[in-house]
Amino acid sequence: MRLPIDAAAVRFVTADPPELAVDFDTRQPQANDESQLIYKVHLFAVGAGSRDCITIKVAGEPKGLGEFTPVKVSELVATTWAMGERAGVSFRATKVEPITATRTAS
């Protein structure tokens, strides 16, 4: 089941730089239908009184992300999965981009 998530009430910070997602069997980089490479972004998610670590997959290399970079996550979707007796949730987004601070004139 695919569930869109309203991430407006959640703050996200990267745990480390993005990494290429690789196929479990072939160990080759994963790509989407448009041949864009898929990257994994490990995030700390904080909001609504809870904290969690999640991994989001996104097509194309997210730029400007390092450790502890505050980010904006666009069009976040959770997908449930099951393999035999194992089950879980995976996350995808269309974009993960750094939040840039804006300065105000004094």
CA distance 66 to 98: 9
pTM of the predicted model, to two decimals? Answer: 0.87
Contact (CB, 8 A) for 89 and 78: yes
Per residue in 48-74, pLDDT (tens digit) is 888 999 999 999 999 999 999 999 999
Region 10-21: what's the mean pLDDT?
Answer: 96
Cβ–Cβ contacts within 10 Å for residue 56, how many?
A: 23
Give the model's pLDDT for residue 7. Answer: 87
At 77, list the tokens: 């979707």
Give the model's pLDDT for residue 65. Answer: 95
At 17, list the tokens: 């730089």
Higher-scoring residue by pLDDT: 95, 102: 95
CA distance 57 to 20: 9
- Selection from 68, 69, 71, 57 nearest residue 20 by Cα: 57
Which domains are seen in the chain, by residue range?
A: 2-98 (2.40.50.140)
Q: Is a pLDDT exceeding 60 seen at residue 45?
A: yes
Q: Which residues pair with 86 in a beta bridge?
A: 83
